[in-house]
Amino acid sequence: MTWNDIAQNWTAFSPALLQRWPEIEEERLMTIDGRRDLLVAEIAKQSDADTAEAERQLAQWLDGEVPADVITSEHHDNASITASANELPPGETPLDDDRQFGDDDLAARPMGRS
């Protein structure tokens, strides 16, 4: 995971952050709103650790997998749809009906045959 992904999808990542650091209050986490320096300071404060140790804990958490509930969140889906616009040919938008483009009107070839 990258911090940029987390900051952009802060609401979706909040449950995973609360699961990892349950001592942080949810309201406080929402006010942090993706600012890494504030999160590190809050981790340090709540776990009675110094800033370097809090940063190490956060870096270790960032090395993990993206939580499944983040991948399936509505906010993440909307961000993915918006980002998909970079991959589209001219004249097509992410919300266009796919039947206008591609091969939807072609019959599928039988399996195992060319």
CATH number at residue 63: 1.10.1470
Mean pLDDT of 38-55: 94
Residue written as token pair 């993706």: 34
pLDDT in tens, 80-108: 777 777 777 777 776 777 666 666 666 77
Within-domain flag for 98 = no
Q: Which domain holds residue 53?
A: 3-72
Within-domain flag for 78 = no
Within-domain flag for 64 = yes
Quote the pLDDT of residue 55. Answer: 95
What does DSSP assign to residue 35?
-
Within-domain flag for 43 = yes
pTM, two decimal places: 0.60
Within-domain flag for 84 = no
Within-domain flag for 114 = no
Q: 14 or 111: whose pLDDT is higher?
A: 14
Within-domain flag for 33 = yes
Quote the pLDDT of residue 76. Answer: 63
The share of the chain scoring above pLDDT 70, in percent, equals 75
- State how many domains the chain has: 1
- Can you read off the two tokens belonging to residue 14? 């909040």
Within-domain flag for 104 = no
Question: Residue type for 72, please?
Answer: T
At residue 5, φ and ψ (nearest 5 deg) are -60, -40
Q: Provide the sign of the torsion angle of the four alpha carbons 87, 90, 96, 98, taken in this order.
A: negative
